[in-house]
Structure 1
Amino acid sequence: MDKEITLEVASQKRKKAVWVVLAALTGLVLTIWVLRSFIKSSVNASEITTGRVEIGNIENTINATGEVLPEFEEIVTSPINASIKNALMDAGNKVNAGQSILTLDKSATQTEYDKQKFQLESKRNDISKLKLDLGKSFYDIQSNNAIKQLRISDFTDAVENAKRLYKAGGATREDIEQAELNLKVAQLEKKQLENEIKNKQKTMQIEIKEAEIAAAIQQNDLNALQRKLNLADVTATRKGVITYVNKNIGANIHEGETLARIADLGSFKVQGSMADNQADELHAGIPVIIRINDNQLRGHVTNVSPSIQNSIISFDIQLDDRSNKLLRPNMKVDVFLVTATHNKIMRVTNGPAFKGPAVQDIFVVNGGKAERRTVHLGLSNFDYAEIKDGVKPNDVVITSDMSEFKNSKEITINQ
């Protein structure tokens, strides 16, 4: 007869079975991990790139883009409203100072100039006429003043005569008073006329001055229009190369509209741009490296645009060698902003192996094998990566991507 198994015994058996299974799985995982750690992985030498650790300097850089532009570019604008009559030069042509670039139809402006010139001559004639009229009026007033003076003299004599006659009994007191009254009236009239003469003189001076000022203003306008007519013969003001010319013959253009651009190709600058998420690193004076193919030029940031457009910030770069023969207008170049510099450190040629965090594993070549080592990385740029420890000078480091061997402690290099 079978004996019934208690619940407590059955529970203990199930727990024991679970622990046995867990122990077996753990052992299996450990076994696989140990085996993978000691499995000898291999790679062909042609599939990897290496670099030798050396002592040198390194600059930390931020990537940006740039465009080469002439450092000095003159924009030639239309001085008048006109139409393009003829284009004498094309973009890319070299020009000397004073050489004609294009001609404008300036007949409308010439007509306006002639009209203003005639108006100025008419105004000058009006000034001359005004001077004559005012001179005649002033002469008439002076003549009346002289007449008043004669009448005063006459009235003065009349007073004296009346007084003599009165003493001789030939005149009355009333005759003397009448003569004196006539004299006072004449004297008042003369004072009034003298005051009128002074006011007339001031009025004459003001009217003539106003007319002369108006004529001078019109003369200045005429001179300005004459200068515009002279500038309408569009010529180069300096030696250079034409980078743009408006060749739309017959097109109506407005005053201030661009007709041509003349660049001095003996001196260049670079206009850079970068994402605004690194704008805190960008400031005037920061050193810059410009890469043109395998060549490098150096310079520094001179100006940072205060505005950001489409998450892009722009800046200007002044080159140390602004006349380098490699520079061409509108050339696209790689720009690297130098944010930090370390001197006399261990460095190795940069590559995909150094794209990870500051602490990472790399492989160092030792004979026909490569050993995994943990190192601390420092600065990096497009040429080099700084290794702070874990290697020594002249060690050969694999610089290609080795992520597929992240679980291997050692790799065999097949020749």
Structure 2
Amino acid sequence: MSQKVIISIKRLVPALIIGPASWLGPYIVMLGLFLPALLQELDAENKVAMLALFAATGSIISAISNMVAGALSDNTHSRFGKRAPWIVGGAFFFMLSMIGAAFSEGVAMLLVCWSIGQVALNFIVAPMVAWLDFAADEHKGKASSAYGGLGMALGNNGFNVIGAMFLGQFRLGFIIFGVITFIGVLLATLLVHEPSNLNEKEEAREEKQHYSFSMDSLRQVFPAWHIGRDYYLALIGKVFLGIGNFAITGYILYIMTDFLKLGDQTQSGIQLVNSIMFFIGVFMGFFAGPIADKFKILKLPVACSALFLALGALALYLFHDMTGVTIYAFCAGIGMGLWNSLDNYLNLQVIPDKDRVGFFLGIYNVGNSLPQAIGPVIAAAAIGIIGFSGVFVVSMVFALIASLCIFSIRSVTR
């Protein structure tokens, strides 16, 4: 068996902050602001349905490409290691596809560019989450908090504050944020400086010679429920919470303009929400992990984080003004800050096969990409049935189910 790669936490932590922030931030800005704005320009009458179409297409592409990217990176041997070639390549092609989106003159061309971007994005995401396994066991909590708490907080909210400034120049925004992704991901990859794994090529060749496909081997890849129960519950919880979150964030522009009727206050409203959520998320990223380690609690804060998101959605449902927006920002900020800081750490504790951490982290990461696509689809259906209030009902219900899933995990008691 090849020797496990350990990367210094001093290099890994900044990379795990810069890396996810660099792909998630621009993507969230484009999905939540630039894409809806461009669709409104290209097809204003069908903008809600078109956004749902883009989301559904992205969902299918993300699910497939994430698994393919993870499998390819697991079996890659190069002087730059397993993950780096795919991560940098994905960032480069994502940048090119977003530049193409900026020059799209019709919905069809935009859909093609967006779809290529989804593939490229997952060739960043799937290998990058496996960087968590480069941390020594005693530092995995710090690595998880850096990736999920600080990196995801920067990505989810920090970039939207800047992105809102480009609402009047959203085509330029596609280009600028595509370039930001490439530069940030490249910097993070250089910080990690994954060592060569060319020495593993011969070992991998010998393993393939002894491998034969069977139903037993398939069951080993995806463990039965009684073996992987807690892992599957964590995965289901992640997907449901993500859907609850993106049901609102995916339509935040339309909520501000068509539902709350903020008009000229739309930009400031979006900046307020993301500023509050950003600072709370960063705070959680610094303190959630160390506090969880000190008091030996993990399941409880992760489960309660979903309840905070449900409370934030309830505020928007009850208060159709900036009061509701502010309460939502604080509650969702606490909820998503806690979740992003600790959910990867929780997943590390419930992985059914400790020898395949990278694989299971990659599958778990589908819980990031799928909700970003599925959430707006479900929200669009709710809008069509009962109006924009349906978005908040969807968010509450899915967040509550996510909380129940996490509370049902048995192997982590607190």
Structure with greater proportional strand content: 1
TM-score, normalisation: structure 1: 0.16
**TM-score normalised over the length of structure 2:** 0.16
Identify the structure with bigger relative contact order (alpha carbons < 8 Å, sequence gap 6+): 1
Q: Which has the larger radius of gyration?
A: 1
More helix by share: 2
